Structure 1
């Protein structure tokens, strides 16, 4: 399925230069108007050069301005009616369904674009070789951390997660040998996340980062970075971290399944045992 160009632009916001960001914001607010503007007129509206408009188009994966106008013209009426915003007071039931479907579909598609197999392979190697995995995420990211814990515990890996950063710090420091720290953060810029990464680095503990921001300190300093989409909400109300959480859960799933395919013979037996054991409670 082809990406919604408005959501693609949102996904790219954190990676754009200041002048490119101005262009992106104008397009998100005035998508229909842009379809009627020449490249020179758009540049004038945004107070940038024509060359900057061309760079912006390439930054979001397009060949140039003609392809941008074509992509905008392909959007449905619902797309143009601020479908890139999370909710609006007059949204109908069908509009809410369309918005959520568009957002989640684009989230997964864009995550596939940035998630690299080599990074998954390196993360799998770290997880396979370690004796303990410590996972931490703040806010909604803690849900993804819990999901990581549940999945990898099922195959017998020693995984610990907790929302208390002081406990996580203690676990890292008490016996730092043969551990891996997994940090999950959409922005990658939370102070607590950076502090944990610095502690792990000082103790020579490898860090696997799951983040939507490749330019964050978390991504730059991590041993391995697993990127996901980083859609930003343009509306006035952001009710929940829906898109980022879905992206994080998808990355955790991909890591888990990639780990299993790489070690299927070794870990198929634990999966069957845990399946049989949990089924006892259903009888």
Structure 2
């Protein structure tokens, strides 16, 4: 019996408050991927104690243990669908990810927008599949009159990185957030406070203080291609939010 079957099995054991948690998680299981217990409580419109009681009914000590098993379930999930239902199945998964955009750290997002607005030189790096959303951001900022530099391979990025000054802003796109290839060409482990990484990986190996984690990592593991589309949608939101600050001036 998998975790979702266990949750359904306990449906009649939940209190009225716990039933709210049940209803939300059954409809949005991938929300667990990036949400803290506080955020899940907010989304379910219950207290954190309600989340804990929900987990305990299922036999867990707390949310952390429940979340661990849910992530395992999501990563192992392989739903067989016929060709007629495949489009609906994939559309549903993408919509579920997009609904999780409100889990993105709003403080860091607003901080990034503020730095884009107040920084003279902006450098954007995105390699391989990450180059598409990175280029999309560069073109969008240039259309808005923002001085932006772009590198789309590691060799080019290593040269560009050497021209960055402490007051400049660096935005690094990496779907996986790995450091192996990066460390061969430039060192982001000691990145300044003006460096941001945008990734789908909730536990990236490359540790940067200003990291924006986007939803969709589970879906990226089920897809035959890297999920550039999710990051591109984020870039669209970022550009629109930035443009709105320009109109306010």
- Could you say whether these structures have the same fold, taking a TM-score greater than 0.5 normalized by the shorter chain as the test? yes
1:225 aligns with 2:208: no
Alpha-carbon shift at residue 148 of structure 1 (Å): 0.6
Alpha-carbon shift at residue 225 of structure 1 (Å): 2.2
User: Residue by residue, what CA displacement relative to the aligned partner does 1:5-39 show, whole Å, maximum 9, x if unpaired?
Assistant: 45446x36xx9xxxxxxxxxxxxxxxxxxxxxxx9
TM-score, scaled to structure 1: 0.58
1:152 aligns with 2:152: no
Q: Distance in 1 between matches of 2:194 and 2:124?
A: 12
Alpha-carbon shift at residue 194 of structure 1 (Å): 5.2
User: Residue by residue, what CA displacement relative to the aligned partner does 1:215-263 show, whole Å, maximum 9, x if unpaired?
Assistant: 3244x423x222211332598x742123xx2221122122212211112
- 1:216 counterpart residue number: 204
Q: Distance in 1 between matches of 2:189 and 2:143?
A: 25
Structure with greater contact order relative to length (CA < 8 Å, sep ≥ 6): 1
Q: Which of 99, 116, 119 matches 1:130?
A: 119
Change (3 A) 1:195 1:183: farther
Change (3 A) 1:234 1:259: closer
What is the alpha-carbon root mean square deviation over aligned residues?
Answer: 3.7
Q: Distance in 2 between matches of 1:172 and 1:54?
A: 41
Q: Could you say which structure has the larger radius of gyration? A: 1
The answer to whether the Cα contact below 8 Å between 1:144 and 1:249 also exists between their aligned partners in 2 is: yes
- 2:66 counterpart residue number: 57
Alpha-carbon shift at residue 174 of structure 1 (Å): 3.0
* Count of residue pairs the alignment pairs up: 202
User: Residue by residue, what CA displacement relative to the aligned partner does 1:125-154 show, whole Å, maximum 9, x if unpaired?
Assistant: 221222222212232211111111111110
Change (3 A) 1:194 1:264: farther
Alpha-carbon shift at residue 59 of structure 1 (Å): 6.3
Alpha-carbon shift at residue 157 of structure 1 (Å): 0.9
SS of equivalent residue, structure 2 residue 149: strand
Unaligned runs of 5+ in 2: 1-23, 37-55, 71-76
1:103 aligns with 2:90: no
SS of equivalent residue, structure 1 residue 251: helix
- 1:164 counterpart residue number: 153
SS of equivalent residue, structure 1 residue 176: coil
Alpha-carbon shift at residue 55 of structure 1 (Å): 4.4
Q: Distance in 1 between matches of 2:140 and 2:62?
A: 45
